Structure 1
């Protein structure tokens, strides 16, 4: 057997072993999703209720006009969205409490909270 043939055979054997360890199709559990819209410098809804101890996804849509930022010091999350942009943020399981967020471009009006129960 030549060297190239041996390397090819070892490579295929390694791939087969990996295939046995890692499934080809991984079906992740779908995360609960909550919609948040920002328009004219205001978040809607202002309060998002989520269950404690469960990962979730927040889907934020900026209906404009202009950019807005979702920011929370407590949650250590932030993202800037241009007008017409939708983004998703995934949150780790949280303890019960109220976690505030705001829009940096409209800090006086773009305010909200995530209530974890």
Structure 2
């Protein structure tokens, strides 16, 4: 019984920090279609950590990338991926599908709080 209690407390200790970190993030949703990102422009407050979830609804493999926000991740067709960014200063940050021949891109505007 003591072993089970110790294991339970240990698991609780390791899970609490991740819950706290998740609640401090701003979650943004994005969809890639065969013709563009939806929405093509996102807006957040400065100083926040970001979690960007992109669902690839296009008919091909894509890669969500941003030189400005320093991430890149392959997005298989029909799947949702997550990337992390921030905290960011006020400004405009570009993201794009690196595998797109048409140059699909979007913008994240970070405004002062």
TM-score by length of 2: 0.77
Gaps of 5+ in 2: none
Check the 8 A contact 1:48/1:115 in 2, yes or no.
yes
**Residue of 101, 111, 115 corresponding to 2:95:** 101
4+ residue runs over 3 A deviation: 22-25
Which one has a bigger Cα radius of gyration? 1
SS in 1 for 2:13: coil
TM-score by length of 1: 0.74
Measured after TM superposition, the shift of residue 44 of structure 1 is 0.8
Partner of 1:74: 68
CA RMSD of aligned residues (A): 2.2
* Closer, same or farther: CA 104–24 of 1 in aligned 2, 3 Å: closer
Partner of 2:41: 47
Measured after TM superposition, the shift of residue 25 of structure 1 is 4.9
Gaps of 5+ in 1: 1-11
